[in-house]
Amino acid sequence: MELLERLCVALGDELYPALLGVLCTVGERAAPPARRAVASALVEGLRSGRVPSGRRPAWGSSGASSMRSLGPIEYLCAWYAQGGGAQPPSASSFDRAMRSLLSLVGASDEARLMYAQRLMAVADDPLSGTLTRSTRDGLRQLASRWEADAADVQAPVDAFLHALQGGGLQGLATRRFL
């Protein structure tokens, strides 16, 4: 856990997506024991409140005082859904990265269940102002699907994307009402 924390500090907020890339590579290519080791570190982080986090501005805010910390999965979801900062990932990049992160964390059932609960808590906190309503709904859907079935990492990603399409102006544009 200490190594992940040091990486977050060393990279800073602007390069947090690079840490996501490292985690995705571990999720995609590392041997099962390595994935389980990282997932175990995340369990420690979840228990102690020290999940490796990147900071994002509150939705609609531009001030540094409105920054909020998000763990890898919720950060990737917010980055994709809400943009801001670095160029957000494309749909195919988001899909691949999210499946990799879910596989990585899912290498430990305990990590998966604890992280799914964390996602629900983040989604149920509208007061932080970090996430839009559709992003929060997407996180709820992702967490529900992931908690129910560890083996299928595509269903939670699809549930998140479906929730994004169903809400707000983006959903209206997707349904071609505008």
The secondary structure of 54-82 as a DSSP string is: EEEEPTT---GGGEEEE-HHHHHHHHHHH
- pLDDT tens digits, residue range 165-175? 985 444 434 43
- Rounded Cα–Cα distance for residues 25 and 23 (Å): 5
- pLDDT at position 172 is 39
Note the pTM of the prediction, 2 decimals: 0.85
50 falls in which pLDDT band (50, 70, 90)? confident
Region 158-171: what's the mean pLDDT? 77
Domain segments of the chain: what residues?
Answer: 2-174
- pLDDT tens digits, residue range 95-116? 999 999 999 999 999 999 999 9
54 falls in which pLDDT band (50, 70, 90)? confident
